[in-house]
Amino acid sequence: MPSLPRTLLIATAAALALAGCTPSAERPPDEIRSAADAVRELDGVLDVDVTRTTVGEPAPQNFGQREETTPSRVDARVELAESLDPAAAGNAVTDAQRLLAAASSRVDPLENITVSAEFFAGSEPSENSTTGQPWLSIRTELDAEPERVAEATEYGYELRATGAERVSLGVTSEAEGPHTAWASVVASSADDLVTLARKAVELDRGADLEAPGIRYGSASRPPDLAAVRLVVAAAGRPDVRNAAYVAGQPLTIQSEAAPGAQSLADLRSWLEARRFATADRPLAYTVLDAEYTESTGWVSGAVPAAHAPHTVPLPAGTKAWPDDVTAPACASGHLRIAWPGSDAATGHRYGLLTARNVARHACALEAVPEVVPLNDAGRGQDDVSIEPYAPGVVPGRVVVPPGEAASAAVEWGAMSTVNDPDLTTTLRVVPQPGTAAVEVPVSERPGSSPGGLDVLDGAVLRISPWVQALEGYSPAR
């Protein structure tokens, strides 16, 4: 018969189990808590807050073996001193991430824990509170390269010193470009936005820039200063509520003018008189009036050549992969399909599929991937339609060297999730005819909510052919 202390212990555990909880269920692992204590001692670190949150249902009992615990997430929020210079901030973050990553690797896998980190500095007042969002926020997966996280931190401090109101950066474990995965910068005025764009160009960094009534999106490559000035000037036109330009997409302008107003005609004339675009590098525009009626045209009046069939051109400065006419078509076993993430702007979503050649020889892709969005139950979303990526665009033959990855853009309009619809958690992808379908997870990736993507019933997808690289998107790495 068990001794009394053990009897009491069993009774206590049983009572807790009947209550639906376990002792210390929300307590972060000791490994992470000890690492947080070490991080607090680093130069430039003010504090560390570690929390643990249940994120799923308990794992089913596995008879005869040790049970896994309920899935949970541990978040480590590291507060940095605002007064640090960029290099010192980068060093502090590098040391902190290495300590936290090492501790995470020592956590028992049966704890069923996902660990993430956020580094932040300062706090800006909001309209309704004396405290608000930190001016710097960097979210990262712990297995991301520390050097990339340090680089993001230094970039954030540089932008703050240049006048940024807020800077948000994200770094994932999969490199999606030469720098950070994405960078979002808020400026207090149009002038500050232009100054920050110049700083991003000087540092050779991407920047998704926002100011009141203005949005310029190029998070993964340096801004085009001429395009920045264009969208800023457009936002300042009479009756314009906001103007947005995402690299590689039409310039979109929302006006407060009623349909048929003279200011709308003047705006279109102004756009078509700008010295900006050419027939070789055209830029479409969309103007919406107060009733959201669209009118479209071409900036600078530079109408592209008749939309004859053509392949997607490589971005300027991109060196083309060698063309091997003997390379076989990529087969199912040659490719690893992934979804690095997505971005959003003015009611639109921009995602990317990648197809990495894992074979020992080059292989060729020449297709628009077939994509079917699936909800969490594995059921296809209803009434989803596919549109051409752009007028006249046709697949071109892309010979993918071993180890390299081709890309295909997937774009759609933002959809309402107010009534908790079934989000898309997986994409079923057929890379090209003759290959097997692959199911690619898309939730918990940059740009998606924890539940998935807002590709819902009735969605309209625009999908590009496979390409080596695509204007406005980070090259696959």
Instruction: Supply the pLDDT for residue 41.
Output: 95
Average pLDDT over residues 19-25: 41
Q: Name the DSSP class of 193.
A: H
| pLDDT given for residue 108 in this prediction | 85
Residue whose tokens read 């007028």: 391
The amino acid at residue 37 is D
Q: Are strands 460-463 and 166-171 parallel, antiparallel or unpaired?
A: unpaired
How does residue 17 score in pLDDT terms, banded at 50, 70 and 90? very low
Cα separation, 216 vs 231, in Å, equals 7
Contact 427, 339 (CB under 8 A): yes
Can you read off the two tokens belonging to residue 420? 């908790």
Q: What angle do CA 295, 299, 303 make, to 5 degrees?
A: 90
200 vs 109: which has the higher pLDDT: 200
Mean pLDDT of the 412-433 span: 92
Q: Which residues contact 224 (CB under 8 A, 6 or more apart)?
A: 218, 247
pLDDT band at 20 (very low <50, low <70, confident <90, very high): very low
Q: Which two tokens stand for residue 291?
A: 């009733």
CATH of 332-463, one of 2.60.40, 3.30.200, 2.60.120, 2.60.98: 2.60.40
Euclidean distance between the first and the last CA atom of the chain, given in angstroms as a whole number: 63
Over range 82-94, report the average pLDDT.
94
pLDDT single digits (tens) 158-206: 999 999 999 998 887 655 444 445 789 999 999 999 999 999 999 988 8
Report whether pLDDT(100) > 70: yes
For residues 295 and 262, is the Cβ–Cβ distance under 8 A? no
- The mean per-residue pLDDT over the stretch 285-292 comes to 95
Residue 450 has pLDDT above 90, yes or no: no
Token reading at 328 = 């076989």
pTM: 0.57
pLDDT of residue 171: 82
Which carries the bigger pLDDT value, residue 208 or residue 476?
208
In this predicted structure, the answer to whether residue 457 has a pLDDT above a threshold of 90 is yes
Q: How confident is the model at residue 306 (pLDDT cuts 50, 70, 90)?
A: low
Residue 119's nearest CA partner among 153, 142, 147 is 153
**What does the mean pLDDT of the chain come to?**
86
CB 193 within 8 A of CB 165: no
Q: What confidence tier does 60 reach under pLDDT thresholds 50, 70, 90?
A: low
DSSP-assigned beta bridge partners for residue 79: 47, 120
> Which pLDDT tens digit goes with each residue over 220-247?
689 999 999 999 999 999 999 999 999 8
pLDDT digits (tens, 9 = 90+) for 345-404: 778 899 999 999 999 999 999 999 999 999 999 999 999 999 989 888 999 999 999 999
* 412, 418, 420, 424: CA torsion to nearest 10: 10
Tens of pLDDT, residue by residue over 247-284, are 888 999 999 999 999 999 999 999 999 999 888 889 99
Strand-pair partners of 344: 349
Say what the pLDDT of residue 308 is: 63
DSSP β-bridge partners for residue 408: 353
Question: Token pair for residue 476?
Answer: 């696959």
CATH 2.60.40 in the chain, residue ranges:
332-463
Task: Summarize the confidence of residues 40-51 as an average pLDDT.
Answer: 94
Note the pLDDT of residue 419: 82
Q: In the structure, what pLDDT confidence band is assigned to residue 48 with cuts at 50, 70 and 90?
A: very high
Which residue has tokens 């924890």?
Answer: 450
What is the pLDDT, as a whole number, of residue 2? 41
Q: pLDDT tens digits, residue range 132-145?
A: 568 999 888 788 88
462 strand-pairing partners? 387, 411
- With a pLDDT cut of 70, the percent of the chain lying above it is 85
Distance CA 201, CA 140 (A): 24
Would you tell me how many other CB atoms lie within 10 Å of the CB of residue 319? 8
pLDDT reported for residue 13: 37
